[in-house]
């Protein structure tokens, strides 16, 4: 996952902003992982494990579509 994100970021970022871009990517990933773990854990316990997996799948699909549109 990290290798793919880094490769895509390397293609999309201008040379003078690569360091800042990689730092922003790492920050957003860390915050996203934290929030996503809380949300999926809540859905898993309060609704069902299927709800947690559906949430994760939908967000993954949205992310893939955003990357596809950027290219």
How much is the pLDDT for 1? 60
pLDDT digit string, tens, across residues 12-57: 889 998 899 889 988 998 999 999 999 999 999 999 999 999 999 9
Specify the pTM: 0.64
pLDDT digit string, tens, across residues 60-70: 999 899 988 87
How would DSSP label each residue in 18-64? HHHHHHHHHHHHHHHHHHHHHHHHHHHHHT-HHHHHHHHHHHHHHHH
Look at residue 2 and tell me whether its pLDDT is greater than 80: no
């Amino acid at each position: 996952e990290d290798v793919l994100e880094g490769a895509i970021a390397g293609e999309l970022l201008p040379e003078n902003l690569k360091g800042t871009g990689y730092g922003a990517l790492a920050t957003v990933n860390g915050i996203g992982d934290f929030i996503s773990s809380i949300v999926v854990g809540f859905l898993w316990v309060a609704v069902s494990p299927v709800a947690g997996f559906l949430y994760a799948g939908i967000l993954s699909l949205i992310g893939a579509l955003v990357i596809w549109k950027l290219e």
